[in-house]
Amino acid sequence: QVQLQQSGPGLVKPSQTLSLTCAISGDSVSSKSAAWNWIRQSPSRGLEWLGRTYYRSKWYNDYAVSVKSRITINPDTSKNQFSLQLNSVTPEDTAVYYCARDNPAFTSSSRFDYWGQGTLVTVSS
Amino acid sequence: DIQMTQSPSSLSASVGDRVTITCRASQSISTYLNWYQQKPGKAPNLLIYAASSLQSGVPSRFSGSGSGTDFTLTISSLQPEDFAVYYCQQSYSTPQTFGQGTRLAIK
């Protein structure tokens, strides 16, 4: 059974960096069929896909245009986890952040089949 | 980006009712369409993938249909635990986008 366990602070000051980690059990961050995603949810923006990392003989990343200049998603194979960093946050980045597995990614059956528990991140001084 | 539009935004129904929720894509997405259920304080839970395939462990009263731009999620006989918010999501192109949600409430 795949499980995704999120960790990270729930309060970030404006202009600082939001950092979250998603620990994977029951699968590998280096899976050649999965992609590992970050998605956020807020009342104003709904469910918003932010980006993903995946391994296909080498590591790839894709990011949403809306955050592309501020976001980094990194895999950590030694700990079987992946992370989200979002720089220069503003109150508009306040949301519940989720990690999620897409498997099998890049196929007609692509879907987010496992999700982390969610982390409410509030951007406030 | 592909826009996903759900209708209705909310509806009220009774236990035992048959309910249909519609999702429309702004361009053709073949059958690259998934449905999720979300309850308060929880992550979305996958119900249907590839427009009509039932995710393992999901009750058979849930079904999906459609292709191209128009899709439906049907709950054949509502159960008390089905009152929640439902989202569609397209996986046809990046960025993967979600509908705005349909809130299903008890009448």
What is the average pLDDT value for chain B, to the nearest integer?
A: 97
**Per the omega criterion (within 30 degrees of 0), is the bond before A43 cis?**
no
Distance separating alpha carbons of residues B8 and A120, to the nearest angstrom? 28
Q: How confident is the model at residue A28 (pLDDT cuts 50, 70, 90)?
A: very high
Q: How confident is the model at residue B42 (pLDDT cuts 50, 70, 90)?
A: very high
Cβ contact, residue pair A112, B46, below 8 Å = yes
Collect all residues of chain B within an 8 Å Cβ-Cβ radius of residue A115. 43-45
Express each pLDDT in B49-66 by its tens digit.
999 999 999 999 999 999
Q: Report in angstroms the alpha-carbon separations of A11 from A64, A94, B56.
A: 23, 9, 36
Contact A3, A26 (CB under 8 A): yes
- Residue B71's pLDDT is 98
The gap between the terminal CA atoms of chain A, to the nearest Å, is: 39
Express each pLDDT in A30-75 by its tens digit.
999 999 999 999 999 999 999 999 999 999 999 999 999 999 999 9
Express each pLDDT in A88-113 by its tens digit.
999 999 999 999 999 999 999 999 99
Cβ contact, residue pair A111, B97, below 8 Å = no
Closest C-alpha among B98, B101, B86 to residue B33: B98
Express each pLDDT in B70-104 by its tens digit.
999 999 999 999 999 999 999 999 999 999 999 99
- Residue A32's pLDDT is 96
- Residue A56's pLDDT is 96
Identify residue B48 by its one-letter amino acid code.
Answer: I
- CB-based contact, B55 to chain A, within 8 Å: yes
- CB-based contact, B6 to chain A, within 8 Å: no
- Residue A86's pLDDT is 98
- Residue B30's pLDDT is 98
Distance separating alpha carbons of residues A112 and A96, to the nearest angstrom? 16
Contact B73, B64 (CB under 8 A): yes
- Residue A52's pLDDT is 98
Q: How many beta carbons lie within 10 A of that of residue B54, not counting itself?
A: 15
Cβ contact, residue pair B95, A64, below 8 Å = yes
CB-nearest partner of A115 from B44, B94, B98: B44
Q: How many beta carbons lie within 10 A of that of residue B68, not counting itself?
A: 14
